[in-house]
Amino acid sequence: MAKFLLTLIKGVVHSMPKTADAPQRIALCVQYDGSRFHGFQRQPGFRTVQEELELAWAAVSGETVVMHGSGRTDSGVHAWGQVVHFSTWSPMQAQQIQRAISAYLEPDLGVRHAAFVPPEFHARHSARGKHYVYLCALGSTRPVLHWGKVAWCRRPLNLQAMREASRYLIGTHDFSAMAAAGRTSKTSIRSLHSVHILRWRGGLAFHFAGGGFLYRQVRNMVGTLWEVGAEKRTPVWVKHVLASQDRRKAGVTAPPEGLYLWRVHYPQDPFPCFPPAHRAPIL
């Protein structure tokens, strides 16, 4: 069926004249299981999300394009709402583009939606904020059915203490203590709008929404909150860690498999038909 649909779509493409005076810009909302990807950004010799999308579109249209993402995700990190844009001369409609690309993708990568956007739209530079979710299973039993999709903490965590500690993260701060070494950003000042830690299927879901994040900032914040949850540190310790601007004083970097790029926010949402991020199902 997928091959039939793709043949039909490509037949429509080849039969339609290309009358546009300029290429059209398309935004894609992409989801992927990061377990078998070496991150989003194209890297020679490794399977990446960016290259898979580019190859799929080349197979559909014959065009060589660059798929620009809203941000890079590390190896093993997942996405439910990664946003990608590219420009094309194709006369295909947005829904046809979504279906055609998806037909060429492996089951661990999919295009959830496609939309035409203004020519000045940029998946990364136009973004005004991001929402990340970190999932953590708790208990002595290995989360077999969700393996590779969640982190696993064998010890219990004090939810109330972590919620209290998370308040020190909210606001505009120098997040150097939560940033990985080797970052390329010009400044480590970031604004974190909200942190919510919720019970989730025998585990916890950490929600972080902010204007932007440093490299591995979310995973380092989770690892730091784990220290408080394990009652190795008091909640106010997080305040002192931030003030120190010293990564060595913070907690461990939480593993990548629990992290999801959940939603990217723009002044005008390219995908207004989607439900709010907090209503979307998690696994």
Q: Is there a contact between 232 and 167 (Cβ–Cβ < 8 Å)?
A: no
What is the pLDDT, as a whole number, of residue 22?
A: 86
- Look at 90-94, 260-264, 272-276 and tell me which has the smallest mean pLDDT: 272-276
pLDDT at residue 146 greater than cutoff 60 = yes
Instruction: Catalytic residue, from 74, 108, 246, 269: name it.
Output: 74
Reported confidence tier of residue 180, pLDDT bands at 50, 70, 90 = confident
Residue 107 shares a structural domain with residue 153: no
Residue 51 shares a structural domain with residue 136: no
Residue 193 shares a structural domain with residue 73: no
Number of domains in the chain: 2
Reported confidence tier of residue 276, pLDDT bands at 50, 70, 90 = low
Range of the domain at 30: 2-15+24-126
Residue 122 shares a structural domain with residue 149: no
* Cβ atoms within 10 Å, residue 106: 13
What is the pLDDT, as a whole number, of residue 192?
A: 97
> Does 141 reside within a domain?
yes
> Does 199 reside within a domain?
yes
Residue 257 shares a structural domain with residue 133: yes
What is the pLDDT, as a whole number, of residue 16?
A: 38
> Does 276 reside within a domain?
no
What is the pLDDT, as a whole number, of residue 202?
A: 84
Q: Is there a contact between 206 and 195 (Cβ–Cβ < 8 Å)?
A: yes
> Does 48 reside within a domain?
yes
- Look at 8-22, 81-95, 152-166, 220-234 and tell me which has the smallest mean pLDDT: 8-22
> Does 37 reside within a domain?
yes
pTM of the model: 0.89
Residue 138 shares a structural domain with residue 226: yes
Q: Is there a contact between 86 and 26 (Cβ–Cβ < 8 Å)?
A: yes
Residue 43 shares a structural domain with residue 167: no
> Does 115 reside within a domain?
yes
Q: Which of 126, 154, 170 is the last residue of a domain?
A: 126
pLDDT tens digits along 189-214 = 999 999 999 999 889 999 999 999 99
Distance of CA 249 to the CA centre of its chain: 27
> Does 122 reside within a domain?
yes
Question: Is 74 a residue of the active site?
Answer: yes
Residue 101 shares a structural domain with residue 198: no
Residue 99 shares a structural domain with residue 133: no
